[in-house]
Amino acid sequence: MEQLNSISRRRFVAVAGVMGATLGLAACGGNNAQEPAAEKPAEEPKKEEKPTGAEPKKEEKKDEKKDSAGQEFEGTILAVGSSALQPLAEAASKEFMKKHPKVQMTVQGGGSGTGISTIAQGGCDIGNSDVFAEEKDVDPKEAKIKDHKVCIVGMGPIVNPDVKVDDVTKQQLKDIFMGKVTNWKDLGGDDQAIVVINRAAGSGTRATFETFALDGETAMQSQEQDNSGTVAKMVAETPGAISYLAFSYFTDKIKPLKVDGVEPKQENIMDNSWLIWAYEHMYTAENPTPQTQGFVDFMLTDEVQQTIIPELGYIPVSGMKVERDVEGNVKNL
């Protein structure tokens, strides 16, 4: 009997073990809706996984913001085009390269037409222009280029400092550049021939001057110069000479003319009292290189807009009281 009792006890333990294992497996599978205790272990890992998976994403976002704010750029940037914008582009590029020593930036002139055509063909990183691309028969969408207005530049007629005329009417200015008035004595000056010096046909400065000073008329054929610096030098050295330049090239070696009594000054541009002005555009590819985008962004910072731009005779975009579209329509801001 003792042996039977011993065998019965062993069978009971074995059977109980099997039943316990079976119940344990059922609990782990979570298939039995009547076992609430089996659901808790399945939910707890999920709660632990959510914060674990969310933490790296938060870290990545922080890193992205830090990189975009203080990213170190490297590589080359080639800017080509407007000679009116060239002094500003050169000054800003020097400051940008100080901040980013691994960037090598080159700024070249050649005129707005060259800047727009070169960027449209993918031959440079930035196409500098005094005029909208549309004015050079380039559709930005088709060419896949993007416009960045970085500042405003004023332009005006300038003469040799010995010319005894200080103020002309808009009609007189047109008559000079159309070849109808050829002697300064006809405008109250000395008996001296007027020597007209033009910018080249692709010049944005010339396009702006002809549009807003000559009412869209084409200036007479005369000697032409591609570079604003060369024009300034020639006018300063040529008796009776007249031409036109961006304010950034005005020096005491040449004399700016008033037009209809209005002085060519920045404050007169801001409210459109002085009509001869233009946006300075930096055209880039739709998706420029990081260093190129970095430089364009730098152009719009307070460091450039509030310091370098006014120091060089340009006007920050934020300083304008009016806005002009590609058609020449002006509205108050």
Domain boundary among 227, 247, 270: 270
Structure tokens at 307: 């310091």
Asked, for residue 180, whether it belongs to a domain, the answer is yes
Do 142 and 169 have their domain in common? no
Q: Give a yes or no: residue 221 inside a domain.
A: yes
Asked if 46 and 92 touch (Cβ cutoff 8 Å), the reply is no
Is 36 part of any domain?
no
The CATH number of whichever domain residue 323 belongs to comes to 3.40.190.10
CA gap 158, 199 in Å, rounded: 13
* Same-domain check for residues 94 and 243: no
The residues, any chain, with a CB within 8 Å of residue 234's CB and separated by 6 or more, are: 197, 225, 241, 243
Check residue 202 and give its pLDDT: 81
How distant, in Å, are the alpha carbons of 173, 264, 289 from that of 215?
A: 11, 18, 39
| Angstrom distance (rounded) from CA 266 to CA 123 | 34
Q: Are 323 and 333 in contact (CB under 8 A)?
A: yes
Shared-domain flag, residues 243 and 172:
yes
Q: How would DSSP label each residue in 87-149?
A: HHHHHHHHHHHHH-TTEEEEEEEE-HHHHHHHHHTTS-SEEEESS-GGGGT--HHHHTEEEEE
Non-local CB neighbours of 176 within 8 Å, separated by 6+ positions = 168, 194, 196, 242
Range of the domain at 166: 154-270
Cα gap 196→193, rounded to integer Å: 10
Q: What is the CA radius of gyration of the chain?
A: 36
- Return d(Cα 115, Cα 128) in angstroms, integer: 5
- Tell me if 61 is assigned to some domain: no
Cα 316 from Cα 303, distance rounded (Å) = 11
Predicted local confidence at residue 60, as pLDDT:
38
Q: Does residue 232 form part of some domain? A: yes
Kindly state whether residues 112 and 177 are assigned to the same domain. no
Residues 6 or more apart in contact with residue 305 via CB below 8 angstroms: 151, 299, 316, 317, 318
Q: Within this chain, do residues 257 and 321 fall inside the same structural domain, yes or no?
A: no
**What's the pLDDT score for residue 181?**
98
Residue 254 structure tokens: 């040449």
Per-residue pLDDT of the chain (333 residues; tens, 9 = 90+): 444 344 344 443 343 443 443 334 333 344 433 333 444 444 444 434 444 444 444 333 333 333 334 789 999 999 999 999 999 999 999 999 999 999 999 999 999 999 999 999 999 999 999 999 999 999 999 999 999 999 999 999 999 999 999 999 999 999 999 999 999 999 999 999 999 999 988 889 999 999 999 999 999 999 999 889 999 999 999 999 999 999 989 999 999 999 999 999 999 999 999 999 999 999 999 999 999 999 999 999 999 999 999 999 999 998 999 999 999 999 999
Indicate the Cα dihedral angle 231, 235, 238, 240, nearest 10°: 130
* One domain for residues 142 and 284: yes
Name the pairing type of β-strands 103-110 and 195-199. unpaired
What does the alpha-carbon distance between residue 159 and residue 244 come to, in Å, rounded to a whole number? 8
Domain check: are 174 and 264 in the same one? Answer: yes
Considering the domain architecture, whether residues 144 and 282 belong to the same structural domain is answered as: yes
The b-or-e profile of 178-193 (16+ CB within 10 A means b, else e) is eeebeebeebebeebe
Q: Check whether residue 137 and residue 187 sit in a common domain.
A: no
Among 270, 297, 314, the domain boundary falls at 270
Q: Does 188 share its domain with 132?
A: no
65 is a domain residue: no
Span 208-266, pLDDT tens digits: 999 999 999 999 999 999 889 999 999 999 999 999 999 989 999 999 999 999 999 99
The answer to whether the Cα torsion of 57, 60, 66, 67 is positive or negative is negative
Inter-residue long-range contacts of 287-292, CB under 8 Å, 24+ positions, other chains counted: 288/125, 288/146, 289/75, 289/77, 289/125, 290/71, 290/73, 290/75, 291/73, 291/74, 291/75, 291/76, 291/77, 291/100, 291/103, 292/77, 292/125, 292/126
- Per-residue pLDDT at 71: 86
Query: Is residue 21 one of the residues assigned to a domain?
Result: no
**Is 301 a member of any domain?**
yes
Say yes or no: 147 and 195 in one domain: no
Number of domains in the chain: 2
Where among 223, 252, 270 does a domain terminate?
A: 270
Instruction: Identify any residues that bridge with 315 across adjacent strands, giving them in sequence order.
Output: 152
Based on the domain organization, do 265 and 296 belong to the same domain? no
